[in-house]
């Protein structure tokens, strides 16, 4: 009342108040505080007090501001602005392959991983493994404290002192100490290991890869004098022939290969339609095979005959050294007709053709492929197979390992240090038994895994995102691995830091000047590459540093090559088993990562399991169905029990299973997932082996995210052959006819009494190029990381409740024995006439003026009608509280810009609305009214190595999406429903003869 009176009076005198404070000042002055309970107690007063105390008790206490003024820090932490992300460059190493990363940090914690767009390998894209390394960083199962036997919480100093003492004792007794390391591509690490070996003569370093596949290195060493694998540069190839090679899938440089391959598939229009061509020859169904223009299903025993025939046919067009032809003549020809056709094609492509052979295949096949590549001229400086592009540390490791075994057998090994390797899980029985005899074993790793459990000391080392380091990519790009946060494992440094600390204890006089590994890396970069402080900072900022590596002159030992070409005599009559790393978990290193466990295999769409995949023909012959348990037994008695998976497209008589499963220790996630296939490797080598199969007569539930694989003749995926497409009349891609008139975007608008909504500002749009998409699944994990999508576990996937906002639909086209595969990323189509929107009773899902179909989580009551009415079935319902069981520190992983959804709420792709809004704020800050093209990248788009996803503003006529959505390949999935989706698909083109594609389309 008082304030009102004052106000009215001053208004009357035309004396307007100047500020809020003035009004408040006047208002507050006369009110004198009175003691609450000293007045006579009236009923009204009692009620007033009662209600006031109730209101306070009811929870407003937490909302009150403190009584005193809070003073923000004048000297705020450098760089950090609360609420704004910071990006740091670092490097990601996947075994001995590496690429640059850009890590997004919020308030000092990394929350999202992107590829470094300056790095020539990643160019902004990333892989599922790289994305998932973030989850590993915050993995609650990571061990945090040093452990000695059953004693926990040992100080690091104590452990190192005891370890050093033991090592000294062993050395004094004349025994060796072995340091087993995993494959890596870090020059500084290599330098550190060299320095350690130089200082401690009793120390031996041995590479202990999870599996061996060194036939390529063996052939290269004999023929080219290069002990290592040559990584092909697919950018330079017009015709790629893969013989069970999987450059787009399991290859360590799949990211780079996919980028290079897909860059040649994104056809702009009819007039300039040129594509590379991929011919896949394989017995299994690989991701590369699914992307092939022509796929030849072949029994592995025929590979060498086929390649030999091709080489001989090639001699009709080009000069092939007679010694090679002579050697090839020893190999009985197979598939002669196909070989003749292929030879002609290869000859036409010349040095822009390349034959790639799977690492698991034997020497003769590698030798034949090398002979063909040499004949084509695709090996050499600037060619597809460039001698400069040798995969770091891909030399043959078996000799070192053999020596290690010898030393173990001879009892000359006193101590073994396992640095991030897990031989108790990966090694064969003999090696494990030999290792068991070693008394002093120490593990330096992230998890208390099988090997760590067998060790006397276990030192938890820091995660790569917590450690300094460096990495050398195959193209000669160096990058620095920068730590993004202090190690979460009680401050114990990286593996290299621990090794340096150990060296300091062992030989303080020589190692005192090296402060830590960071110091070591800096010194190494200074001495090896001459990088001074200023340059160093630039390297950190950009994340790359190019070094010149002189390519060795190419010399070819033809005789050695001819010697390597010989029939290998794979027994066709037996059932053959092949064990390969899995797409999701690779060799098991990533087994404790829920994102990867739940990432559907790109071919089988299985999660949380490995299977014995076999062709429908083989399964029929053996009377098996998917889900039947079988026992596979090798001749030497190695056994594995696996569920059968009937995989169309595989050759008959072949069984494929994957590594990485069947872990028994090291975390909660990996427990009871699949079976360990390592015992089936022959002395650690990948390759085909004969097995005996017995049905166990039991069933096993398999959690797959896609249960139906046929297009049912529906125009969901549009296909054409390149040849057909380039014809002036071209094929018409799915344009449904209904009465209406053409709209502004070229799509028909059906007759309606409601005029279409006019989008005035931005109009967000996505274009997905099916020709480019290889189905790798990087987008799925990237989306999961960006949008706080929960992992639901096998039981929920079995119930069909996986939560991925983007999925890759995989359809088989053609006969079930030998089908072709199409991959189709499917996500919310943000329909203009969204069927989900009008059925929601509480208006929890609505349309934004920028064309987004928005989901208001806190309004959703969960009727699930929107999910029923979504023709694309891309909505995901939180059937249970999937986030409640998060153990710390996993909550640090959450993207603070995205709501964490509770149970009972619907969710779905938002087109990364948080990123759109961020870009809009930036635009506003810079005084722009519009966001620039390319300023907003959705998480899936950013991760996609194939560049198959494009996002932007369709109202901007110059934006790339505006141009592409008018492409002659554009179509809309289920356009006939008139839901008017905001995602344009570009039809898939196959660089294959018209008849082949027609045949498939009709089948």
Partner 1 sequence: MQPTPATVATPPHVNGQELQREPLVLGNPTLHDVTEKIAGIAVSRPSWKYWLTLGITGTAAAWGLFCIGYTIATGIGVWGLNNPVAWGWDITNFVWWIGIGHAGTLISAILHLFRQRWRTAINRSAEAMTIFAVICAGLFPLIHLGRPWFAYWLFPYPNQMQMWINFRSPLVWDVFAVSTYLTVSILFWYLGLIPDLATLRNYVKRRIPKALYTFFSLGWVGSARHWQHYEIAYLILAAISTPLVLSVHSVVSFDFAVSILPGWHTTIFPPYFVAGAIFSGFAMVLTLVLIMRWVLNLENYITLKHIDNMNRILLATGMMVGYAYAMEFFIAMYSGNEYERYAFLNRAFGPYGWAYWAMVFCNVAVPQLFWSPRLRRNVVVTFIASILVNVGMWLERFVIITTSLHRDFLPSSWDYYAPTWVEVSIYIGTLGIFFTLFLLFAKYVPVIAIAETKAILPGAQPEHHVVAEAAASR
Our CB check for partner 1 shows the closer of 572 and 903 to be 903
Measured CA to CA, the distance from residue 746 to residue 973 in angstroms comes to: 15
Stretch that binds partner 1, among 458-466, 526-534, 879-887, 924-932 (CB under 8 A): 879-887
3-state secondary structure 708-754: CCECCCCCCCCEEEHHHHHCCCCCCCCCCCCCEEECCCCCEEECCCC
Contact pick of 426, 878, 941, 962 for partner 1 (by CB under 8 A): 878
> Locate tokens 């594609």: which residue?
997
Our CB check for partner 1 shows the closer of 545 and 872 to be 872
Measured CA to CA, the distance from residue 307 to residue 239 in angstroms comes to: 16
Contact pick of 799, 887, 928, 966 for partner 1 (by CB under 8 A): 799
Our CB check for partner 1 shows the closer of 692 and 881 to be 881
CB of 852 to partner 1, least distance (A): 18
Measured CA to CA, the distance from residue 82 to residue 251 in angstroms comes to: 40
Measured CA to CA, the distance from residue 607 to residue 128 in angstroms comes to: 14
CB of 874 to partner 1, least distance (A): 8
**For 732, what's the count of Cα atoms within 13 Å in the CB-facing half-sphere?**
4
Per the CB < 8 A criterion, the answer to whether 164 and 915 are in contact is no
Per the CB < 8 A criterion, the answer to whether 353 and 237 are in contact is yes
Closest to 640 in 3D by CA, of 621, 662, 660, 609: 662
Our CB check for partner 1 shows the closer of 148 and 599 to be 599
**Which sign does the torsion angle of CA 199, 196, 513, 502 carry?**
negative
Residues 897-926 that bind partner 1 (CB under 8 A): 902-906
Stretch that binds partner 1, among 44-52, 429-437, 566-574, 869-877 (CB under 8 A): 869-877
Our CB check for partner 1 shows the closer of 124 and 648 to be 648
60 binds partner 1 (CB under 8 A): no
CB of 724 to partner 1, least distance (A): 24
List 907's β-bridge partners, or say none: 876
Tell me the backbone φ, ψ of residue 194, rounded to 5 degrees: -65, -45
811 binds partner 1 (CB under 8 A): yes
Residues 961-990 that bind partner 1 (CB under 8 A): 973-974, 977, 979
CB of 809 to partner 1, least distance (A): 4
Residues 439-458 that bind partner 1 (CB under 8 A): none
Stretch that binds partner 1, among 53-61, 223-231, 562-570, 806-814 (CB under 8 A): 806-814
Report CA 932 to chain centroid distance, whole Å. 28
Residue 279 sits at the vertex; the CA angle it makes with 277 and 283, to the nearest 5 degrees, is 160
Closest to 622 in 3D by CA, of 648, 656, 652, 647: 652
**DSSP letters of 180-208?**
EE-----HHHHHHHHHHHHH-TTEEEEE-
Per the CB < 8 A criterion, the answer to whether 683 and 397 are in contact is no
Measured distance between the N- and C-terminal CA atoms of the chain, rounded to whole angstroms: 84
Our CB check for partner 1 shows the closer of 444 and 905 to be 905
* DSSP run (H or E) holding 341: helix 336-349
Per the CB < 8 A criterion, the answer to whether 437 and 457 are in contact is no
Contact pick of 51, 664, 695, 881 for partner 1 (by CB under 8 A): 881
% helix, strand, coil for the chain, step of 5 = 30, 20, 50
Tell me the backbone φ, ψ of residue 755, rounded to 5 degrees: -65, 145
Our CB check for partner 1 shows the closer of 40 and 713 to be 713
CB of 646 to partner 1, least distance (A): 17
Measured CA to CA, the distance from residue 598 to residue 600 in angstroms comes to: 6
Our CB check for partner 1 shows the closer of 120 and 904 to be 904
Contact pick of 85, 225, 380, 871 for partner 1 (by CB under 8 A): 871
CB of 877 to partner 1, least distance (A): 6
Our CB check for partner 1 shows the closer of 302 and 603 to be 603
Tell me the backbone φ, ψ of residue 990, rounded to 5 degrees: -115, 130
Our CB check for partner 1 shows the closer of 2 and 859 to be 859
813 binds partner 1 (CB under 8 A): no
Stretch that binds partner 1, among 73-81, 87-95, 533-541, 804-812 (CB under 8 A): 804-812
The 3-state DSSP class for residue 836 equals helix
Q: How many residues does the chain have?
A: 1003
Contact pick of 425, 877, 971, 990 for partner 1 (by CB under 8 A): 877
CB of 860 to partner 1, least distance (A): 7
CB of 555 to partner 1, least distance (A): 52
Our CB check for partner 1 shows the closer of 585 and 852 to be 852
Our CB check for partner 1 shows the closer of 869 and 963 to be 869
789 token code pair: 């999508």
Strand pairing report for 151-154 and 606-607: unpaired
CB of 621 to partner 1, least distance (A): 27
Measured CA to CA, the distance from residue 500 to residue 495 in angstroms comes to: 9
Contact pick of 876, 920, 969, 988 for partner 1 (by CB under 8 A): 876
Contact pick of 796, 910, 941, 967 for partner 1 (by CB under 8 A): 796
Residues 697-756 that bind partner 1 (CB under 8 A): 706-714, 716
Measured CA to CA, the distance from residue 662 to residue 668 in angstroms comes to: 13
The interface mask with partner 1, positions 826-865, x = CB under 8 A, is x--------x--xxxxxx---------------xxxxxxx
How distant, in Å, are the alpha carbons of 257, 514, 726, 768 from that of 274?
A: 18, 55, 9, 19
Strand pairing report for 807-813 and 988-990: unpaired
How distant, in Å, are the alpha carbons of 213, 308, 382, 658 from that of 639?
A: 22, 35, 47, 14
Our CB check for partner 1 shows the closer of 307 and 783 to be 783
Q: How many residues bind partner 1 (CB under 8 A)?
A: 56
The 3-state DSSP class for residue 394 equals coil
Our CB check for partner 1 shows the closer of 838 and 1003 to be 838
Measured CA to CA, the distance from residue 235 to residue 548 in angstroms comes to: 20
Strand pairing report for 853-855 and 845-847: antiparallel
Stretch that binds partner 1, among 326-334, 431-439, 876-884, 948-956 (CB under 8 A): 876-884
Measured CA to CA, the distance from residue 314 to residue 311 in angstroms comes to: 5
CB of 679 to partner 1, least distance (A): 35
Our CB check for partner 1 shows the closer of 43 and 707 to be 707
Our CB check for partner 1 shows the closer of 413 and 905 to be 905
378 binds partner 1 (CB under 8 A): no
* DSSP run (H or E) holding 311: helix 303-314
868 binds partner 1 (CB under 8 A): yes
69 binds partner 1 (CB under 8 A): no
55 binds partner 1 (CB under 8 A): no
879 binds partner 1 (CB under 8 A): yes
Measured CA to CA, the distance from residue 108 to residue 91 in angstroms comes to: 18
801 binds partner 1 (CB under 8 A): yes
Our CB check for partner 1 shows the closer of 448 and 807 to be 807
Contact pick of 94, 112, 252, 810 for partner 1 (by CB under 8 A): 810
CB of 608 to partner 1, least distance (A): 16
The 8-class DSSP code of residue 446 comes to S
Our CB check for partner 1 shows the closer of 99 and 872 to be 872
Contact pick of 411, 552, 800, 849 for partner 1 (by CB under 8 A): 800
Contacts with partner 1, residue ranges (CB under 8 A): 706-714, 716, 796, 799-802, 807, 809-811, 824, 826, 835, 838-843, 859-865, 867-869, 871-873, 876-881, 902-906, 973-974, 977, 979
């Amino acid at each position: 009342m008082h304030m009102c009176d004052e106000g009215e009076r001053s208004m009357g005198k035309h004396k307007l108040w100047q500020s809020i404070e003035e009004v408040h000042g006047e208002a507050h002055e006369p009110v004198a505080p009175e003691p609450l309970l000293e007045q006579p107690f009236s009923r009204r007063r009692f009620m007033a007090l009662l209600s006031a105390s109730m209101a306070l008790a009811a929870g407003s206490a937490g909302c009150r501001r403190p009584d005193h003024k809070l003073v923000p820090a004048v000297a705020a932490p450098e760089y950090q602005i609360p609420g704004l992300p910071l990006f740091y460059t670092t490097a990601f190493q996947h075994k001995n392959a590496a690429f640059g990363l850009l890590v997004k940090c919020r308030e000092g914690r990394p929350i999202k991983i992107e590829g470094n767009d300056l790095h020539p390998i990643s160019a902004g894209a990333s892989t599922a493994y790289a994305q998932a390394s973030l989850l590993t960083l915050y993995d609650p199962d990571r061990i945090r404290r040093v452990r000695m036997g059953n004693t926990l919480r040992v100080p690091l100093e104590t452990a190192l002192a005891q370890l050093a003492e033991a090592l000294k004792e062993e050395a004094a007794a004349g025994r060796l100490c072995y340091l087993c390391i995993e494959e890596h591509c870090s020059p500084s690490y290599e330098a550190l290991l060299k320095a350690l070996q130089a200082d401690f003569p009793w120390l031996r370093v041995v590479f202990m890869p999870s599996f061996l596949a060194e036939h390529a290195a063996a052939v290269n060493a004999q023929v080219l004098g290069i002990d290592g694998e040559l990584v092909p540069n697919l950018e330079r190839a017009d015709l790629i022939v893969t013989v069970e090679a999987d450059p787009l899938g399991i290859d360590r440089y799949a990211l780079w290969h996919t980028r290079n391959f897909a860059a040649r598939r994104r056809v702009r229009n009819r007039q300039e339609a040129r594509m590379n061509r991929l011919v896949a020859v394989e017995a299994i169904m690989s991701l590369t095979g699914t992307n092939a223009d022509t796929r030849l299903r072949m029994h592995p025993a025929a590979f060498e005959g086929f390649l030999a025939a091709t080489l001989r046919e090639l001699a009709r067009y080009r000069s092939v050294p007679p010694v090679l032809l002579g050697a090839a003549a020893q190999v009985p020809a197979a598939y002669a007709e196909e070989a003749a056709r292929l030879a002609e094609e290869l000859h036409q492509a010349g040095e822009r053709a390349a034959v790639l052979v799977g690492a698991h295949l034997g020497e003769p096949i590698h030798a034949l492929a090398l002979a063909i590549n040499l004949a084509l001229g695709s090996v050499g400086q600037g060619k597809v197979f460039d001698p400069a592009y040798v995969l770091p540390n891909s030399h043959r490791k078996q000799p070192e390992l053999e020596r290690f075994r010898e030393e173990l057998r001879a009892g000359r090994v006193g101590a073994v240090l396992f640095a991030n390797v897990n031989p108790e899980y990966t090694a064969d029985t003999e090696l494990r038994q030999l290792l068991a005899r070693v008394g002093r074993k120490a593990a330096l790793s992230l998890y208390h895994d099988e090997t760590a459990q067998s060790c006397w000391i276990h030192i938890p080392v820091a995660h790569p995102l917590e450690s300094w380091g460096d990495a050398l990519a195959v193209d000669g790009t160096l990058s620095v691995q920068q730590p993004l946060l202090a190690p979460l494992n009680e401050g114990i440094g990286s593996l290299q830091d621990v090794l340096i600390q150990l060296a300091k204890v062992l030989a303080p006089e020589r190692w005192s000047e090296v402060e830590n590994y960071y110091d070591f890396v800096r010194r190494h970069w200074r001495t090896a590459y001459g990088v001074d402080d200023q340059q160093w900072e630039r390297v950190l900022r950009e994340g790359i540093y190019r070094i010149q590596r002189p390519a060795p002159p190419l010399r070819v030992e033809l005789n050695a090559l001819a010697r390597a070409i010989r029939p290998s005599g794979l027994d066709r009559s037996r059932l053959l088993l092949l064990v390969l790393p899995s797409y999701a978990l690779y060799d098991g290193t990533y087994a404790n990562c829920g994102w990867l466990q739940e990432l559907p295999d790109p071919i089988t769409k299985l999660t949380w399991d490995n299977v014995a995949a076999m062709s429908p023909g083989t399964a029929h012959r053996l009377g098996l169905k998917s889900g039947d348990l079988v026992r596979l037994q090798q001749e030497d008695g190695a056994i594995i029990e696996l569920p059968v998976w009937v995989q169309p497209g595989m050759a008959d008589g072949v069984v494929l299973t994957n590594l990485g499963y069947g872990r028994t220790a090291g975390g909660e996630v990996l427990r009871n997932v699949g079976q360990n296939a390592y015992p089936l490797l022959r002395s650690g080598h990948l390759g085909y082996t004969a097995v005996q199969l017995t049905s166990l007569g039991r069933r096993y539930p398999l959690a797959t995210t896609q249960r139906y694989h046929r297009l049912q003749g529906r125009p969901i995926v549009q296909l054409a052959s390149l040849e057909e497409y380039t014809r002036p009349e071209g094929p018409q891609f799915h344009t449904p006819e209904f009465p209406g008139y053409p709209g502004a975007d070229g799509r028909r608008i059906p007759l309606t009494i409601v005029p279409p909504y006019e989008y005035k500002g931005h109009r967000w749009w996505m274009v997905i190029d099916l020709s480019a998409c290889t189905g790798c699944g990087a987008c799925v994990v990237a989306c999961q990381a960006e949008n706080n999508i929960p992992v639901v576990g096998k039981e929920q996937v079995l119930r069909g409740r996986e939560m991925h906002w983007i999925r890759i639909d995989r359809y088989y086209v053609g006969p079930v024995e030998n089908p072709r595969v199409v991959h189709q990323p499917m996500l919310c189509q943000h329909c203009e006439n969204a069927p989900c929107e009008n059925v929601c009773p509480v208006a929890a899902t609505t349309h934004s003026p920028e064309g987004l179909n928005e989901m208001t989580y806190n309004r959703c009551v969960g009727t699930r009608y929107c999910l029923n009415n979504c023709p694309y079935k891309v909505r995901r319902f939180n059937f249970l509280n999937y986030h409640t069981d998060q153990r710390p520190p996993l909550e640090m992983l959450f993207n603070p810009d995205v709501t964490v959804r509770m149970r009972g709420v619907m969710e779905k792709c938002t087109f990364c609305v948080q990123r759109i809004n961020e870009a809009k704020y930036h635009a506003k800050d810079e005084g722009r009214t519009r966001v620039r093209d390319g300023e907003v990248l959705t998480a899936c788009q950013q991760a996609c190595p194939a560049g198959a996803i494009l996002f932007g503003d369709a109202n901007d006529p110059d934006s790339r999406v505006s141009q592409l959505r008018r492409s002659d390949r554009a179509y809309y999935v289920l356009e006939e429903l008139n839901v008017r989706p905001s995602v344009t698909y570009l039809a898939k083109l196959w660089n294959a003869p018209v008849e082949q594609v027609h045949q498939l389309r009709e089948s």
